[in-house]
Amino acid sequence: METTNLSADVLVIGFGKGGKTAAHALSDAGRRVILVEQSENMYGGTCPNVGCVPTKMLVHYSGAKRLEDDAQEFFANSVAGVRRLTSAFRAGNFDGLNGKDTATVITGTARFIDANTVAVGDGDDRITVTAPTILINTGSEPVLPPIPGLADSRHLVSSTDLIQNDRLPRQLVVIGGGYLGLEFAAIYQHFGTQVTVLEAAGRLLGREDTDVAEVATGILAGDGIQLITGASVVEVIDNEGAASVVYVKDGERHTIAADAILSAVGRKPATSGLGLEVAGVKTTARGAIQVDERLHTSQPHIFALGDVNGGPQFTYVALDDARIVLDELLGDGTRTTSDRVAVPHTLFMTPPLATVGLTETDARLQGRNITVARENVADIIAMPRAYTVEETRGVMKFIIDADTDLILGAALLSIDAQELINTVALAMRQNITATELRTSIYTHPSSTEAFNEVLGTVVSAGVN
């Protein structure tokens, strides 16, 4: 057996957002970079291939479906459109990095053989790569709960399976009512699938205030999704043509049929097979790679970026991880994870729910002196955009420090919320007061001008 031995200034394991961003910048700075990605279908990482981009494109397509459209044909055409876009992104990501004079992309599975070297592949195709600096960016993978019959069911699908399959399920059961589960539930319900969500907790969106969660739940239920909370799935039984999902609620057993079952109970860091113990890289009790605030692992020359380090599982957080690592390698090393303030996130239901900062419940538990500004979208006179696009469902809610007039948090369930929340987050980071945000000049008709009205509406609200 002959092994090809390569060396680089920086080795990047994983083609996700953090890894590829750092690889580009380091290559441009003259460092010799080798990036290893285990699958040719994942150039660019989860987001452009099986995550953010395809799911949000399906959200767009599903909202365009007309009553007269054949559901299966419309869905198949939508998936074809997604495939065209993701293929273009994948090729662009590969060519953009591999085309650099100082960067090389190797496709294969990497495993450490010592703290500075990984082996890629086996047999005659085995390659070793040695580098003084290594970045691990292998992302996360779905958690499959130990439900009898689930793992072996012919009808079990992953989120990746759903995106890549052009057959529209007739009956989709989603186990787990978190962001991923609710996004897929909303997408497939709009395409014409009968969707049921089984959530073990007593209510959906348990991290949000009750009043906001109730509005969101009402919208999802109003779209036809069957939402069952307090439901513990105990068994999956495959039958001819479909599966029976058995769950217990209030002490009683119930069964629901499904030709597709999506497990959406969470994701875990993808570290299996990396050989971290050989490299001396420590992991946390939850399986994430242990890092400090500058993303060094227990081996100072090895960094971990993105989902694999156990931080928030968002593409834009992985991007910020890259900024921190690049500041360590090319800058003055002052940037840290503790610099992150007011990081927003969005649930892409229709309309989207975007949040940032504290909820009212959290603020009151902390003993904050607060005021709450809240208004249903249908009642916001200063937001004609909601009427022009015929989407008046939702609510806007702001938590404001009564002593300083600074915004502590917001929940925006409305058209364009995924964009509006970035303005609110920026205001929070820059200490712009609620009054300044309320009295600012915004274009018309726009969703942002809703701030002119909502922030002037202080409601009396109790603990949720």
pLDDT tens digits, one per residue of 381-408:
999 999 999 999 999 999 999 999 999 9
Beta-bridge partners for 397: 374, 411
Q: How many residues does the chain have?
A: 464
Instruction: Report the percent of the chain where pLDDT is more than 70.
Output: 97
CATH code of 345-459, in short, is 3.30.390.30
Q: Do 330 and 323 touch, CB atoms closer than 8 A?
A: no
Instruction: Report the percent of the chain where pLDDT is more than 90.
Output: 80
pLDDT score at 461:
44
CB atoms within 10 A of CB 429: 14
pLDDT score at 394:
98
Between CA 108 and CA 104 the distance in angstroms is 13
Which has more pLDDT, 234 or 124? 234
Per-residue DSSP letters for 364-413? Answer: HHTT--EEEEEEEGGG-TT-HHHHHTT----EEEEEEETTT-BEEEEEEE
pLDDT score at 87:
83
**Residue tagged active-site, from 24, 190, 254, 444:** 444
pLDDT (mean) for 220-229: 98
Between CA 54 and CA 52 the distance in angstroms is 6
Confidence band of 58 (pLDDT split at 50, 70, 90):
confident
pLDDT (mean) for 270-277: 95
Amino acid letter, 266: G
Determine the 3-state secondary structure of 65 from DSSP.
coil
Is residue 49's pLDDT more than 70?
A: no
Confidence band of 335 (pLDDT split at 50, 70, 90):
very high
Is residue 275's pLDDT more than 50?
A: yes
Any catalytic annotation for residue 444?
Answer: yes
> Any idea which of 19-33, 56-70, 322-336 has the lowest mean pLDDT?
56-70
pLDDT score at 50:
58
pLDDT tens digits, one per residue of 167-217:
999 999 999 999 999 999 999 999 999 999 999 999 999 999 999 999 999
Average pLDDT, the chain: 93
Is residue 128's pLDDT more than 80?
A: yes
- What is the separation of C-alpha 280 from the centre of its chain, rounded to a whole number of angstroms? 30
CATH superfamily of 156-265: FAD/NAD(P)-binding domain (3.50.50.60)
Between CA 190 and CA 286 the distance in angstroms is 36
- In the 8-state DSSP scheme, what is residue 293? T
374 CB-side CA count, 13 A: 19
pLDDT (mean) for 434-444: 96
Reference 130, options 112, 117, 115, 114; nearest CA is 117
pLDDT score at 463:
41
Q: Do 127 and 4 touch, CB atoms closer than 8 A?
A: yes
Is residue 159's pLDDT more than 70?
A: yes
pLDDT (mean) for 45-61: 77
Is residue 1's pLDDT more than 60?
A: no
Which has more pLDDT, 81 or 421? 421
pLDDT tens digits, one per residue of 297-306:
999 999 999 9
Confidence band of 460 (pLDDT split at 50, 70, 90):
very low
Is residue 462's pLDDT more than 50?
A: no
pLDDT tens digits, one per residue of 82-95:
888 888 888 888 88
Confidence band of 2 (pLDDT split at 50, 70, 90):
low
> Any idea which of 95-104, 238-247, 321-330 has the lowest mean pLDDT?
95-104
pLDDT score at 464:
42
Which has more pLDDT, 12 or 51? 12
Reference 16, options 309, 358, 244, 339; nearest CA is 309
- In the 8-state DSSP scheme, what is residue 441? -
Q: Domain boundaries in the chain? A: 4-142+268-339, 156-265, 345-459
pLDDT score at 51:
63
> Is there a common fold for 156-265 and 345-459?
no
pLDDT score at 44:
73
Determine the 3-state secondary structure of 19 from DSSP.
helix
pLDDT (mean) for 259-272: 94
| The domain made up of 4-142+268-339 is a member of CATH 3.50.50.60 | yes
pLDDT score at 20:
94
Confidence band of 436 (pLDDT split at 50, 70, 90):
very high
pLDDT score at 160:
83
Helices (H) and strands (E) in the chain, counts: 14, 25
Q: φ, ψ for residue 183 (rounded to 5)?
A: -60, -45
Give the range with max mean pLDDT: 101-110, 114-123, 322-331. Answer: 322-331
pLDDT (mean) for 45-67: 79
